[in-house]
């Protein structure tokens, strides 16, 4: 077993939670950086905390911090003396970055510099390895298909531009100070704990809601965009593998397959036996129920499909969700990661959609049961994004 100490920023996020579990299984001591929040936001890592009700994991610890606070970052890196830092924290929503461009630049761009600089100032360049959560958003208006480590970048959002700075400052610190600093250029990756405001989870939650009669219609933006979607569990393993190499380097992590938002929605509804037709164009396009496989619906949802009917419009376009500049097509070439890290994805998109839909149906049923007992379990204002 390893005796290494890892520090993960973004511990409360999708990737932070999966990576923490992965490293704890490998015997690491894990420290997570958590932002102070006015409400509970640790649901993804609750099982790791020790409290009055459970023992938790004795090798898991957290501290309060923020990527915009250099003094806090320096203090904790000094105290923890990590062998590996995984910088996963970010304002990670592309559309929101158009509304908060300066903050996004500060947290996602300069935040990375603060971590690298802390390692350098503290004299830890020979000890502490740094992983930077880079992104396929760097490719933006793609200059090549598929995209590899050699493809020129062309970011299309304040988020992408901030991550471009973070990418290059990581490369620069590696070259200037001989640090082990690497970029994982990860394509989109999802899971049952994906944030509810990203399109895949927004769709799978809506499939559950609509099936159980708790939502009528799902509003989406650009259905034509295509993404290379993998599973977050596979992708955190790639992060770990990059940090175990003798030499630091940058790697594209992707499945090599691309799917449109429209097709993802079609497959997610098909999981519960609801078959969609898409009619109309642009902002007038609609997803309409063409047929319902009653046996499949009852098998998956656990009740007769009384809440829905053939001809029902379940998807509509709301231009609110369009972005000022869009990334239309992402498809990655991860052959370098396959050849050097021995990494290939284990999950298929089909299995992941099944897992996400099943999870959202279960969650909704549990929450519905709690709500009927008087508990407030979800604030629907979260649906504005």
The distance of Cα 146 from the centroid of its chain, to the nearest Å, equals 21
Active site residue 159: yes
Residue 130 to residue 338: CA distance in whole angstroms: 21
Q: Which residues have C-beta within 8 Å of that of residue 345, sequence separation ≥ 6?
A: 230, 231, 234, 255
Residues 98-157 that bind ligand NAP (CB under 6 A): 107, 133, 135
Residues 251-310 that bind ligand G4F (CB under 6 A): 261
Number of CB atoms found within 10 A of residue 283's CB: 11
Cβ atoms 114, 37 nearer than 8 A? no
Name the binder of 220 from ligand G4F, ligand NAP, none, CB < 5-8 A by kind.
ligand G4F
Name the binder of 316 from ligand G4F, ligand NAP, none, CB < 5-8 A by kind.
none
Cβ atoms 138, 153 nearer than 8 A? yes
Distance in Å, CB of 186 to ligand G4F, minimum: 7
Out of 2, 27, 37, 176, name the contact with ligand NAP by CB under 6 A.
37
φ, ψ for residue 233, nearest 5 deg: -60, -45
CA geometry: angle at 128 spanning 88 and 193, to 5°? 20
Name the binder of 227 from ligand G4F, ligand NAP, none, CB < 5-8 A by kind.
ligand G4F
Out of 6, 220, 292, 334, name the contact with ligand G4F by CB under 6 A.
220
Residue closest to ligand NAP (Cβ): 13
The catalytic position among 137, 190, 237, 271 is 137
Q: Does 137 bind ligand G4F (CB under 6 A)?
A: yes
The distance of Cα 287 from the centroid of its chain, to the nearest Å, equals 26
Q: Does 41 bind ligand NAP (CB under 6 A)?
A: yes
Name the binder of 35 from ligand NAP, ligand G4F, none, CB < 5-8 A by kind.
ligand NAP
Residues 301-330 that bind ligand G4F (CB under 6 A): 321, 323, 326-327, 330
Instruction: Single out the segment in contact with ligand G4F by CB under 6 A; choices: 32-40, 107-115, 198-206, 305-313.
Output: 198-206
Q: Which is nearer to ligand NAP, 194 or 262 (CB)?
A: 194
Name the binder of 269 from ligand NAP, ligand G4F, none, CB < 5-8 A by kind.
none
Tell me which residue of 151, 116, 135, 137 sits closest to 248, measured CA to CA: 116
Q: Which is nearer to ligand NAP, 92 or 211 (CB)?
A: 92
E-only strand ranges, the chain = 5-9, 29-34, 60-64, 84-87, 129-135, 181-186, 189-190, 218-220, 226-227, 230-231, 251-253, 259-260, 274-279, 286-292, 313-317
Active site residue 68: no
Q: Does 356 bind ligand G4F (CB under 6 A)?
A: no
Terminal CA-CA length for the chain: 43
Residue 228 to residue 136: CA distance in whole angstroms: 9
Classify strands 189-190 and 230-231 as parallel, antiparallel or unpaired: parallel
Peptide bond into 146 cis (omega under 30): yes
Out of 182, 199, 265, 276, name the contact with ligand G4F by CB under 6 A.
199
Q: Does 94 bind ligand G4F (CB under 6 A)?
A: yes
Contacting positions for ligand G4F (CB under 6 A) = 92, 94, 135-137, 187-188, 197-199, 202, 220-222, 225, 227, 261, 321, 323, 326-327, 330
| Residues involved in catalysis | 135, 137, 159
């Amino acid at each position: 077993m390893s005796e290494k100490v890892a520090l993960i920023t973004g511990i409360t996020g999708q990737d932070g939670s999966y990576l923490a579990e992965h490293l704890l299984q490998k015997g690491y001591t894990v420290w997570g950086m958590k932002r102070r929040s006015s409400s509970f936001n640790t649901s993804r890592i609750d099982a790791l905390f020790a409290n009055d009700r459970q023992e938790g994991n004795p090798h898991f610890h957290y501290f309060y911090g923020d990527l915009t606070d250099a003094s806090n970052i320096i203090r904790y890196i000094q105290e923890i003396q990590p062998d590996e830092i995984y910088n996963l924290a970010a304002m990670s929503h592309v559309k929101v970055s158009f509304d908060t461009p300066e903050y996004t630049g500060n947290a996602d761009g300069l935040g990375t510099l603060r971590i690298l600089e802390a390692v350098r100032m503290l004299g830890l360049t020979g000890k502490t390895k740094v992983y930077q959560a880079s992104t396929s958003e760097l490719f933006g208006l793609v200059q090549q298909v598929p995209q590899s480590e050699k493809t020129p970048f062309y970011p299309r959002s304040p988020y992408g531009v901030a991550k471009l700075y973070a990418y290059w400052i990581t490369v620069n610190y590696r070259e200037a100070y001989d640090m082990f600093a690497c970029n994982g250029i990860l394509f989109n990756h999802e899971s049952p704990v994906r944030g509810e405001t990203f399109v895949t989870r927004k769709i799978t939650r809506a499939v559950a809601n609509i099936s159980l009669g708790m939502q009528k219609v799902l509003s989406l933006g650009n259905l034509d965009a295509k993404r290379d979607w993998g599973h977050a569990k596979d992708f955190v393993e790639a992060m770990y593998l990059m940090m175990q190499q003798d030499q630091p380097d940058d790697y594209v992590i992707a499945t090599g397959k691309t799917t449109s938002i429209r097709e993802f929605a079609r497959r997610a509804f098909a999981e519960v036996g609801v078959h969609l037709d898409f009619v109309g164009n642009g902002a007038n396009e609609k997803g309409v129920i063409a047929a319902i496989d009653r046996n499949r619906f009852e098998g998956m949802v656990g009740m007769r499909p009384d809440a829905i009917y053939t001809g029902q419009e379940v998807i509509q376009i709301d231009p609110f969700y369009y972005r000022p500049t869009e990334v239309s097509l992402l498809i990655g070439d991860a052959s370098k990661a396959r050849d050097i890290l021995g990494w290939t994805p284990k999950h298929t998109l089909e299995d992941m959609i099944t897992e996400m839909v099943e999870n959202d149906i279960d969650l909704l049923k549990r929450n519905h049961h709690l709500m009927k007992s008087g508990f407030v379990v979800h604030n629907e204002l979260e649906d504005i994004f």
